[in-house]
Chains A and B, each alone.
Chain A
Amino acid sequence: MNFPLQLVITGFGLGMVYALIAIGFVIILKCSKAFNIAQGHFVMIGGYLGFTFLVTFHMPVWASLLAAITVAVVMGLLIERLTLRPLVGQSVLAIIMMTIALGTVLDGVATLVWGSEYKAYHGVLPTITLKVGDLSVPPETLIGIIVSVITVAILMILFRYTRVGLGMRATAEDEQVVQSAGIKVTTIYAISWVIACVVGVVSGILLGGVSGVSTALAEAGMRAFAVVLLGGIDSIGGAIVAGIALGILENIAAGYLDPLLPSGGGLANVFPFIVIIIVLTIKPHGLFGMARIERI
C-alpha cells in the first residue's frame, strides 16, 4: 500500500475529529468570549449518549439523534444558567477554571454512568466506504467531512443571515452596546452554549459509530486547541482548515519521525503541543484570526 498517501488519508480523518471539536469551541468563543475547555467532554458525552440510545435502548437512528439533541439542549441550557452566567464579567482565569471544573464533573458523570469504558457501535449507523484504487478511505473521514461541511454551512447561514446570528456576533463585539440596542445578552449566551453542546453531541455520536468513544476523547479535546490556535480562535473556517492540516501533519510526522526517535515514538501525542508553542511564538493570532490591538 502507498504509505505516504495512506498517512495523509488517516490524518485527514483525525483532522476532522479535531475540526469538529474546534468548531464547537469557536462558536462559544465567538459570542461569549468564554474559552470552553470542556468541549472535548461534550463530544465524549455525545458518544456515550449515542451508545445508550442506539445500543442499550435499541432506538432507530433518527429517534436516537433527536433524543441526544434534546439532551444536549437541556445540558447546554443548564450549564449556561448554572455555571457560566454567574461568572459574566469575571476574569479569564475564572471562566477557564469553571470550564475545566465542568469538564471534570462531566468526566466523573461519564465514569459513574458508563464506567469510562471504550464503547463502540459499528454497523449501527449507515456507513459509507469509498475505495480509490487500492486506497481505502476510512468511513470516519467521509462522515467527518460531510458532517462538518453541513455544520459549517448551517452556522455560516446562521451567523450571516439571521437576527440571532447577528446578535451573537454583536455580543462578541460589545455586550453593553448590544444590551442598549434591545438584544437580550443572556439569551444569546444560552443559545451559543446550546449550539456548542448540540454540535459536540452530534459529532460524538458519529465518532462513537465509527471509531468508538472513551474518556480519552476528552484528551483529544485538549489537543484540538492546537487546531483552534492555528486556525485563529475566532474563525470557523480556520478551525476546519487547521484541523485537517494538523491531522495530516501529525500523522506524517508520527509515521516518518517516530522510528528515528530513541524510545520509538509517541510523537503523535505531543505534536499538537509543539505546534501550539510555535504558533504562539510566531503568529499568536493564528492563520485566519483577527489581530486585536489592546488599549489601556
Chain B
Amino acid sequence: MSLPSGVFQESYAQDMAIFRTRTQWVLLLAFLVLLFIMPVYANDRVLTIMTIMGITIISVLGLNILTGYCGQISLGHAGFMAVGGYVSAILTAKLGWSFWAALPAAGVSAGFIGIIFGLPSLKIKGFYLIMATVAAHFIIIWLILQFYGITGGADGMAVPRPEIGGLVLKSKASYFYLVMILTCVAVYLAKNIVRTRVGRAFVAIRDNDLAAEVMGINLWAYKLTAFFIGCVFAGVSGALLVHYYAYASTDHFPFMNSVWYLGMLIVGGMGSITGVIFGVVSLKFLDELVTIMGPMLAAIFPAIAAQAAASLGLITRGLVIILFLIFEPRGLVHRWELVKAYYRRWPFSY
C-alpha cells in the first residue's frame, strides 16, 4: 500500500498502522456515522438485507482467515455455523442462559468442532481437505437431525430474541445495531489477527507449508489454530442468524451456502479483509437484484415462468464466479486498489 505524496513514515509503528492519514480517519468516521444512523433513513427491507449481510460478513471473515490466509480450503463453513447456531439455541431456549453468555459459548464450541474436523488437514490438503470439510458439513447436519430430542430435528426449535437489561431486541432496527456492532468488532479483530505473529505464520503455511515447517513454524498447532479461529467466527455468525430468525432449523445452513461463501471470497479477493466486505456486499446485492428480476422475467416469458426465478439465481451466481475466476482472479479488492492508486496519482499517473 503506497501513500499520498508527501506523507512519510518515520517508525515501524507508523508503517504498520491501518489508518495512516487523517483523510482515512475522517472517511472511516463518516462511514460509521452513516452506517449507524441507517435506521433513520432506510426502510425495513434495507435493514433486513444489511443485517443478513453483517451476519454473512462475520462468517466469511472466519473463512477468509482459514482459506484466504492459511490456505486450508473449507467447503463446510455452513456446517460450522450450524454448530454455533444450535449451541446458542439450546443454551438459551432449553437451559435458560442469557444470549450474552450463549454467544461466546456458541463461538467456542463451533471452534472445537472445527478443530476436530481440521485434524485430517495435518495429513492432507487441496482437494482431499475440501472433501473432508464437505463430509464435515453433511455429518454435522445429520447429527443435528438425529438428536431431535435436543435440537428439534427437522421441525427446528423456537429461540428467544436477545435482550439487554429487560429490553428485548425485537425490532429490525435494534437487531441491526447488535449485528453491526458485532460485525465492526469482528472486522477489527480479523484485521488485527492477520497482522500478528500468528497471521504471518498462516500466510507462510498458505504459500508453502513444507517450507514453513522448515522455517520452524509448528504446522500442527497453526493449522488447528486457523481452524479454531475460522470456526469461532462461523459459530458466532450462526448464533446471530438463529436468534435473528428466532428459530433454529437446518434449512438455515444449506450446503450451497458454504459454496457461496467461497464464491464471495473469490469475487471480493482472497486474503484481504476489505475483500470479504466487497465480496459479501456485491453477491448479496446480486441476490437482491435476481429476486427483483425473477418475477419480471417470468412476466416476459410466461412459458417458463415457474422455473425462471429458480434457475436465474443459480445461473447468475455460477456465471459471476466463472467470470471472476477468468477475468479477475484477484477479486474486486484488486480493482479497488487500482482505483485508489489512480486517484492518488491524478493527474500525473505514470
State the A residues within 8 Å of B (CB). 35, 83, 86-87, 90, 92-94, 96-98, 100-105, 107-109, 111-112, 115-116, 222, 225-226, 229, 233, 261-263, 266, 269-270, 273-274, 276-277, 280-281, 284, 294-296
> Are the CB atoms of B259 and A294 closer together than 8 Å?
no
> Are the CB atoms of B131 and A101 closer together than 8 Å?
no
Interface size class of B (residues with CB under 8 A): 35 or more
> Are the CB atoms of B322 and A102 closer together than 8 Å?
yes
**Whole-angstrom CA separation of A86 from B148 in the bound complex:** 47
**Whole-angstrom CA separation of A97 from B74 in the bound complex:** 12
> Are the CB atoms of B138 and A111 closer together than 8 Å?
no
Residues of chain B within 8 A (CB-CB) of A269 are 138, 142
**Whole-angstrom CA separation of A229 from B321 in the bound complex:** 26
**Whole-angstrom CA separation of A115 from B148 in the bound complex:** 33
B317 at the binding interface (Cβ < 8 Å): yes
Given contacts A108-B312, A115-B306, A277-B132, whether A101 and B127 have CB atoms under 8 Å apart is no
> Are the CB atoms of B208 and A104 closer together than 8 Å?
no
**Whole-angstrom CA separation of A277 from B132 in the bound complex:** 6
**Whole-angstrom CA separation of A226 from B263 in the bound complex:** 24
Residues of chain B within 8 A (CB-CB) of A233 are 127
Residues of chain A within 8 A (CB-CB) of B119 are 281
> Are the CB atoms of B263 and A284 closer together than 8 Å?
no
* Chain B 294-336 per-residue mask, 1 if CB under 8 angstroms from chain A, else 0: 0000000000101110111111011101100110010000000
- B135–chain A nearest beta-carbon distance, Å: 4
Closest to A29 in B: B127
Given contacts A83-B322, A101-B318, whether A229 and B211 have CB atoms under 8 Å apart is no
B33 at the binding interface (Cβ < 8 Å): no
Residues of chain A within 8 A (CB-CB) of B310 are 108, 111, 116
B134 at the binding interface (Cβ < 8 Å): yes
Residues of chain A within 8 A (CB-CB) of B208 are 296
Partner of A296, one of B134, B139, B210, B304: B210
- B203–chain A nearest beta-carbon distance, Å: 15
B126 at the binding interface (Cβ < 8 Å): yes
**Whole-angstrom CA separation of A204 from B252 in the bound complex:** 31
Closest to A222 in B: B134
Given contacts A93-B73, A104-B317, A281-B123, whether A276 and B322 have CB atoms under 8 Å apart is no
Most chain A CB within a 10 A radius of its CB, from B119, B214, B312, B321: B321
B43 at the binding interface (Cβ < 8 Å): no
Residues of chain A within 8 A (CB-CB) of B130 are 35, 96
Residues of chain A within 8 A (CB-CB) of B136 are 277
19 further A-B pairs in the complex, CB-CB below 8 A; given A116-B310, A229-B131, A261-B146:
A83-B322, A94-B266, A97-B266, A97-B321, A98-B325, A100-B259, A101-B319, A105-B318, A105-B322, A108-B315, A111-B307, A111-B311, A112-B311, A225-B131, A262-B148, A263-B146, A273-B139, A274-B139, A281-B120
B262 at the binding interface (Cβ < 8 Å): yes
Residues of chain A within 8 A (CB-CB) of B148 are 262-263
Partner of B128, one of A83, A97, A284: A284
> Are the CB atoms of A87 and B317 closer together than 8 Å?
no
Interface positions, chain B 163-197, Cβ under 8 Å from A, are none
> Are the CB atoms of A273 and B134 closer together than 8 Å?
yes
> Are the CB atoms of B307 and A116 closer together than 8 Å?
yes
B249 at the binding interface (Cβ < 8 Å): no
> Are the CB atoms of A35 and B263 closer together than 8 Å?
no
Closest to B309 in A: A111
B246 at the binding interface (Cβ < 8 Å): no
> Are the CB atoms of A112 and B308 closer together than 8 Å?
yes
**Whole-angstrom CA separation of A49 from B254 in the bound complex:** 28
Partner of A262, one of B127, B146, B308: B146
Q: List 16 A-B contacts (CB under 8 A).
A: A96-B130, A100-B262, A101-B321, A101-B325, A104-B259, A105-B315, A111-B311, A112-B311, A233-B127, A262-B148, A263-B148, A266-B142, A276-B134, A277-B135, A280-B135, A296-B211
Closest to B322 in A: A101
Most chain A CB within a 10 A radius of its CB, from B117, B145, B325: B325
- B223–chain A nearest beta-carbon distance, Å: 14
**Whole-angstrom CA separation of A16 from B119 in the bound complex:** 32
**Whole-angstrom CA separation of A62 from B137 in the bound complex:** 42
Residues of chain A within 8 A (CB-CB) of B117 are 277
> Are the CB atoms of B326 and A262 closer together than 8 Å?
no
Residues of chain A within 8 A (CB-CB) of B34 are none
Residues of chain B within 8 A (CB-CB) of A94 are 266, 325, 329
> Are the CB atoms of B145 and A263 closer together than 8 Å?
yes
**Whole-angstrom CA separation of A175 from B315 in the bound complex:** 33
Most chain A CB within a 10 A radius of its CB, from B127, B211, B259, B266: B127
Closest to B73 in A: A93
B156 at the binding interface (Cβ < 8 Å): no
- A216–chain B nearest beta-carbon distance, Å: 13
Given contacts A96-B127, A111-B310, whether A87 and B142 have CB atoms under 8 Å apart is no
Residues of chain B within 8 A (CB-CB) of A108 are 310-315, 318
> Are the CB atoms of B132 and A92 closer together than 8 Å?
no
> Are the CB atoms of B131 and A276 closer together than 8 Å?
yes
> Are the CB atoms of B315 and A276 closer together than 8 Å?
no
- A202–chain B nearest beta-carbon distance, Å: 24
* Chain B 104-137 per-residue mask, 1 if CB under 8 angstroms from chain A, else 0: 0000000000000101100110111011101110
> Are the CB atoms of A262 and B147 closer together than 8 Å?
yes
Interface positions, chain B 66-87, Cβ under 8 Å from A, are 67, 73
Residues of chain B within 8 A (CB-CB) of A284 are 120, 123-124, 128
- B310–chain A nearest beta-carbon distance, Å: 5
**Whole-angstrom CA separation of A25 from B208 in the bound complex:** 27
Closest to A93 in B: B73
Closest to A262 in B: B146
